[in-house]
Amino acid sequence: MSTETERRVENLLARSKETLTINDSTTTSIQMARQSVPNVAVSKPESTEDDNAFKEKFNIELRDLQNSRKATPSARVMQSFREKLPAFKVKDEFLKAVADNQVLVVSGETGCGKTTQLPQFILEEEIERLQGAKCNIICTQPRRISAISVAARIASERGENLGETVGYQIRLEAKRSAQTRLLFCTTGVLLRRLVQEPDLGGVSHLLVDEIHERGMNEDFLIIILRDLLPRRPDLRLILMSATINAELFSTYFGNAPIIHIPGLTYPVAEVFLEDVVEKTRYRIKSEFDNFQGNSRRRRRQPSTKNDPLTEMFEDVDIDAQYKNYSMSTRQSLEAWDGTQLDLGLVEATIEYICRHEKDGAILVFLTGWDEISKLLDKIKGNNFLGNSSRFLVLPLHGSMPTVNQREIFDRPPSNVRKIVLATNIAESSITIDDVVYVIDCGKAKETSYDALNKLACLLPSWISKASAHQRRGRAGRVQPGVCYRLYPKVIHDAMPQYQLPEILRTPLQELCLNIKSLQLGAVATFLAKALQPPDPLSVKNALELLKTIGALDEMEELTPLGCHLCTLPLDPNIGKMLLIGSVFQCLDPALTIAAALAHRDPFVLPINRKEEADAAKRSFAGDSCSDHIALLKAFEAWKDAKRSGKERAFCWENFLSPMTLQMMEDMRNQFLDLLSDIGFVNKARGVKAYSQYGDDLEMVCAILCAGLYPNVIQCKRRGKRTAFYNKEVGKVDMHPSSVNAGVHLFPLPYMVYSEKVKTTGIYIRDSTNISDYALLLFGGSFMPSKTGEGIDMLGGYLHFSAPKSVIQLIQRLRGELDKLLQRK
Ligand code: CDP
Ligand code: MG
């Protein structure tokens, strides 16, 4: 170890020690803040006579209020709207089934009125029967934005203010009162409530919505509920699903009855890429031309037995199939598969509709925020569409701040065409009524997890037939519509029937933490009870990771750090970065980096100006050898530019996405709220109060190490170059977009990274060069090595020889940190 490194390390040690004492003084106030448990309904005291009289009065008041509101003219209009919804036809059957069965599955086409009507039927009935006081209905939603919009809708259908009998509760935001009888909440909020109330005491009806999506939280919740039902015979459980696989859920709950709501939608014509191209006369990339050539040839030759392309598309399981095909075929599919969505084509299709088709809103399905923002820019620059008074272009994305939602649902004035650019959030949980045209890119961002290589990625992949059907259906709400599919018919035919459930394709560490905090016993045993149990190797990896980062001890019990991480609805690594960042007075940079990790980094990659873009990124990185520092500096420079009103030019010159930066800023606020909520910081004091070392890049790198560990790479010198090694996969390369790509030698011996991706090889996306002491102090659990001469990490993959005195100091400092976390 060079003397220079030693000097820097000593500084680092001294500072972290200092910070520990500084923060110690705030412990008491933090402890106090933590004791204020978030808004959770408290079970009512034992009934007394007074209490009974009060309830009777309350029941009558609720009923009279409900009846008087029904009598107003506006309520009558609402009522006639409601009666036209398909759900209305099953009202009596539904209420009877709820009364007669503990579990019920209801399926129906999106928009038929499941979410807004079914809970409302129960509510009205209970109030009418003078059972209002006892009734406590909860309906879960997978997403925050739908919880709010649905609650608001029902309140207006009932002619009351949001937060009276109908309310919502999402993390850090609620509108509810003592009067609230129907509460919409995110599935995550209900899971948290289960920590305090394992039996859901006081809840009379629980509706779990969008169960067909097979989200991780919903799959998790139904395991818990199946165990809970025998303990709560009076609880009614209603599972609501689009018209997909309702039998699966019924079987899981011992053949629970199913009610199917017949659909009421107008026909929707389907146009595939072949015809879109002809209609819009848009020239698209050559892959499609090749591809089209192939499929034309196929059509001309009826005997297709040996045509690999046809065979490939015969089976729905694309992946398993195409592994067996010849290289040339595989390459052509990959070429097609890997092509980015041609946003020019989307723009041309929108323009085509606006020029040639009748009135009606357009809903565009894209994969994510970056596509939405790029398309927004394109539309702004389009000669015809850029005329903003005739077109109302609105983005719709799950992590959008919850303001300004109303204009998405409202009908614009008659001479204005609404164009909504959405992710798959608009597929089933949000219904925009006036949509007549759907443009479907055929893909959605999907996480996938390779348990063997511990590789997780979030990549656009083909949607399922079920999703494609949902998307199309969004166009036929009020009149016949058209769905423009921007992919060939053969791709549609090759799509899998259903999407793989999230629990089978994502890393499970957050889920495992939740299982621990709900005290549901051994993780593996519990998860074996799932509708489709995850791969035991994924479970093992998740538990191992939680032990490695210090969230679980060897006995699989939560450590103090683990307990804190459970309270944050975040990936445990990101959570740890925020916690350690705030404890070590590095909150400001930790918030920024965590926001970029949770969302995406703000650098855009223009295809034709790649070198300039790389240079801009490198100039932000300076000599830090860190992609994370680059984005941190870029974010800070953006804030300065914004203050001086030069935001647009700044982003343009530096190849940054203003939308992503804005989203990062919003996420920083959300994270700050979360940390404040669990008492780690006091928001009122401001971020600066916790960022004494925010400008010290060495500290920032150490915090990065705390958050990203065990994503570690060893940098090994090979002559004049450096080779990179990773424990799981061996030799890896730096991704070409990294500031560390093409650098031959690095000042420090290790890297931490946020993501490794598998394309042609295994690449490291964003990395930061760090010292061995950053690893020793801020990395996960470690062991004194067997010889007693040093320290082993990652099961001996990393070995550090250090003088005994330094090892002792490190152990002491880490012990101090543990104690500090324990006290909180
Ligand atoms: O849950 P499901 O997809 O079956 O339908 P829903 O969300 O209950 O919506 C039923 C109808 O209510 C929709 O077709 C919309 O017309 C209307 N609605 C609305 O106008 N505003 C909302 N925020 C939600 C629903
Ligand atoms: Mg719904």
Domain membership flag for residue 797: no
Atom of ligand 1 nearest to the CA of 433: 16
* pLDDT above 70 as % of the chain: 84
Based on the number of CB atoms within 10 Å of its own CB, is 102 exposed (0-12), middle (13-18) or buried (19 or more)? middle
Q: Residues 437, 319: one domain?
A: yes
Domain membership flag for residue 415: yes
Preceding peptide of 119 cis, ω within 30°:
no
Q: pLDDT, tens digit, for every residue of 186-196?
A: 999 999 999 88
Q: Residues 189, 224: one domain?
A: yes
Domain membership flag for residue 293: no
Cα Rg of the chain, angstroms? 28
Q: By the 8 A CB rule, do 393 and 365 touch?
A: no
What pLDDT, on the 0 to 100 scale, is given for residue 17?
46
Q: Give the distance (Å) from ligand 2 centre to CA of residue 259.
A: 15
Q: Residues 219, 279: one domain?
A: no
User: What is the average pLDDT score of the chain?
Assistant: 84
Give the C-alpha distances (Å, rounded to integers) separating 726 from 336, 750, 763, 797.
31, 10, 11, 9
Domain-terminating residue out of 473, 500, 527 = 500
Atom of ligand 1 nearest to the CA of 108: 4
Say how far apart CA 533 and CA 541 lie, in whole Å: 15
Domain membership flag for residue 488: yes
Q: Give the distance (Å) from ligand 1 centre to CA of residue 95.
A: 20
Out of 38-47, 203-212, 583-592, 767-776, which region has the weakest mean confidence (pLDDT)?
38-47
Domain of 362?
A: 268-288+307-500
Q: Residues 395, 478: one domain?
A: yes
Q: Residues 106, 224: one domain?
A: yes
Report which protein residue has its CA nearest ligand 1's atom 22: 153
Report which protein residue has its CA nearest ligand 1's atom 21: 153
Q: Residues 488, 587: one domain?
A: no
Domain membership flag for residue 397: yes
What pLDDT, on the 0 to 100 scale, is given for residue 300?
35
Ion ligand 2: protein residues whose beta carbon lies under 5 Å: 114-115
Residue whose C-alpha is closest to residue 468's, from 365, 346, 622: 365
What pLDDT, on the 0 to 100 scale, is given for residue 600?
78
Find all residues with CB under 8 Å of 709, minimum gap 6, and list them.
548, 549, 573, 752, 775, 778, 779, 780
Say how far apart CA 269 and CA 194 lie, in whole Å: 45
In a mutational test of the pocket of ligand 1, which residue from 82, 145, 431 has the highest number of ligand atoms less than 8 Å from its CB?
A: 431
**Helix intervals (H) in 187-272:** 187-196, 216-228, 246-252
Domain membership flag for residue 109: yes
> In which band, very low, low, confident or very high, does the pLDDT at 811 lie, cut at 50, 70 and 90?
confident
- CATH code, domain with 311: 3.40.50.300
Domain membership flag for residue 121: yes
Q: How many CB atoms lie within 10 A of CB 687?
A: 17
Residue 403 has pLDDT above 60, yes or no: no
Q: By the 8 A CB rule, do 248 and 310 touch?
A: no
Q: Residues 102, 182: one domain?
A: yes
Higher-confidence position of 304 and 198: 198
Domain membership flag for residue 5: no
Q: pLDDT, tens digit, for every residue of 88-142?
A: 999 999 999 999 999 999 999 888 999 999 999 999 999 999 999 999 999 999 9
Say how far apart CA 788 and CA 550 lie, in whole Å: 22
Q: pLDDT, tens digit, for every residue of 480-535?
A: 999 999 988 888 888 888 888 999 988 999 999 999 999 999 999 999 999 999 99
Q: Residues 98, 174: one domain?
A: yes
What pLDDT, on the 0 to 100 scale, is given for residue 284?
59
| Ligand in closest contact with the CA of 84 | 1
pTM, rounded to two decimals: 0.78
Q: Give the distance (Å) from ligand 1 centre to CA of residue 140.
A: 15
Higher-confidence position of 603 and 631: 631
Name residues contacting ligand 1 (CB within 6 A). Answer: 85, 108, 110-117, 149-150, 153, 409, 431, 433
Q: Residues 318, 423: one domain?
A: yes
Q: pLDDT, tens digit, for every residue of 168-184?
A: 999 878 999 999 999 99
Q: pLDDT, tens digit, for every residue of 21-36?
A: 333 333 333 333 333 2
Q: Residues 241, 334: one domain?
A: no
Q: Give the distance (Å) from ligand 2 centre to CA of residue 772.
A: 52
Beta bridge partners of 103: 237
Q: Residues 596, 462: one domain?
A: no
Atom of ligand 1 nearest to the CA of 110: 3
Q: Residues 235, 282: one domain?
A: no
Give the C-alpha distances (Å, rounded to integers) separating 307 from 107, 144, 295, 304, 320.
40, 47, 10, 5, 18
Q: By the 8 A CB rule, do 66 and 130 touch?
A: no
Q: Give the distance (Å) from ligand 1 centre to CA of residue 442.
A: 24
Structural domains in the chain (count): 3
In 472-556, at which residue ranges do the beta strands (DSSP E only) sit?
A: 481-485
What pLDDT, on the 0 to 100 scale, is given for residue 789?
76
Query: What DSSP character marks residue 366?
Result: -
Residue whose C-alpha is closest to residue 581's, from 685, 674, 703: 703
Residue whose C-alpha is closest to residue 110's, from 438, 574, 459: 438
What pLDDT, on the 0 to 100 scale, is given for residue 38?
32
What pLDDT, on the 0 to 100 scale, is given for residue 288?
52
For range 586-600, the mean pLDDT? 92
Q: How many CB atoms lie within 10 A of CB 518?
A: 17
Is beta strand 205-208 parallel, antiparallel or unpaired with respect to 173-175?
unpaired
Residue 389: helix, strand or coil by DSSP?
coil
Q: Give the distance (Å) from ligand 2 centre to CA of residue 130.
A: 28
